[in-house]
């Protein structure tokens, strides 16, 4: 579910390349390319009846939900996929980690606590519900926490293509703060390389993983790299 979003298409493409038989539960409204060998299940995961009709009596080795954001979504998935999947991968968020962290580096063992963002608190609540289902009923959950992941349709900076247009014209752009704060960016194809290795991996059940780049950059550096790229290519996305 959610296999035609921002991060997931690279994972879908690589999974097919690796020989996985891929099914995408989709409403069919995406403009993003879908792997030719993917099987399309037409349905709406937000509509229980629609999802049940699309899934029928199918069972899966792995179910991945990229678009579960609240405990209510998790409750539905536990009912839909309990007993019909060997592994359920929940896409959480690195923003669920303690903010600001009391200890660096941030690892999968860092406490989950974010008082600033409801999105993150909901992800934390989702994780807790899934781990409860794992401990009490052996629901085969694996948790994945992406950080700031991007592709050519979602640039990592604010103002998106307006900013690129200004760079191409040699105009000034605004960098938040003083530009020296550090950040980690991950391209969705790099994320996919780590993610696909978790599919069907029984050792990953009951575990949480964050998948991020190992490159730490300041925002000044990020803008400088982008500016250099803008001036050296035509940016035909």
The helix (run of H) or strand (run of E) holding residue 24 is strand 23-26
State how far the alpha carbon of 67 is from the alpha carbons of 2, 60, 92, 142, in Å.
Answer: 5, 18, 9, 15
Per-position DSSP letters for 96-121, written without gaps between them: GB-SS-SSSS--TTS-B--SS-HHHH
Average pLDDT rounded to a whole number, residues 152-157: 81
Nearest to 60 by CA among 137, 1, 146: 1
The answer, yes or no, to whether residue 105 has pLDDT greater than 60, is: yes
Give residue 228's pLDDT.
84
- Amino acid 236: pLDDT: 41
| Residues 49-87: tens digit of each pLDDT | 999 999 999 999 999 999 999 999 999 999 999 999 999
Comparing 11-15, 164-168, 201-205, the range with the smallest average pLDDT is: 164-168
Instruction: Tell me, rounded to whole angstroms, the distance of Cα 147 from its chain centroid.
Output: 8
What value does the mean pLDDT take over residues 117-126?
98
Answer yes or no: are the C-beta atoms of 89 and 64 closer than 8 Å: yes
232: confidence class by pLDDT, cuts 50, 70, 90? low
What is the phi/psi pair of residue 65, to 5°? Answer: -115, 110
Q: How many CB atoms lie within 10 A of CB 95?
A: 19
Assign 229 a pLDDT band (cuts: 50, 70, 90). Answer: confident
Residue 203 or residue 229, greater confidence: 203
- Is 32's pLDDT higher than 80? no
Whether pTM > 0.85 for this model: the answer is yes
Domain ranges of the chain: 8-155+184-218
Cis status of the peptide bond prior to 180, with omega within 30 of 0 = no
Mean of the pLDDT values across residues 112-138? Answer: 97
CATH number for the segment(s) 8-155+184-218:
3.40.50.720
Which pair of structure tokens corresponds to residue 44?
Answer: 């709406």
Mean pLDDT computed over every residue of the chain: 92
Closest by CA position to 188, among listed 4, 1, 6:
6
């Amino acid at each position: 579910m959610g296999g035609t979003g921002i991060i997931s298409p690279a994972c879908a493409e690589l999974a097919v390349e690796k020989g996985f038989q891929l099914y995408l539960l989709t409403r069919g409204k995406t403009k993003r390319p879908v792997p030719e060998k993917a099987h399309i299940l037409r349905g709406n995961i937000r509509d229980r009846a629609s999802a049940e009709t699309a899934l029928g009596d199918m069972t899966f080795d792995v179910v991945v939900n990229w678009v579960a954001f609240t405990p209510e979504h998790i409750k539905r998935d536990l009912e839909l996929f309990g007993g019909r999947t060997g592994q359920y991968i929940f896409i959480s968020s690195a923003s669920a980690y303690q903010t600001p962290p009391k200890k660096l580096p941030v690892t999968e063992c860092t406490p989950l606590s974010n008082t600033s963002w409801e999105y993150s608190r909901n992800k934390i609540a989702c994780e807790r519900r899934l781990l409860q289902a794992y401990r009490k009923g052996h629901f085969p959950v694996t948790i994945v926490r992406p950080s700031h992941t991007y592709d050519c349709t979602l640039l990592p900076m604010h103002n998106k293509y307006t900013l690129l247009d200004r760079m191409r014209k040699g105009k000034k752009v605004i960098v938040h703060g003083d530009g020296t704060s550090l950040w980690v960016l991950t391209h969705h194809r790099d994320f996919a390389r780590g993610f696909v290795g978790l599919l069907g991996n029984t050792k990953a059940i009951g575990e949480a993983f964050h998948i991020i780049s190992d490159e730490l950059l300041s925002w000044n550096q990020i803008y400088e790299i982008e500016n250099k790229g803008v001036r050296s290519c035509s940016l035909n996305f």
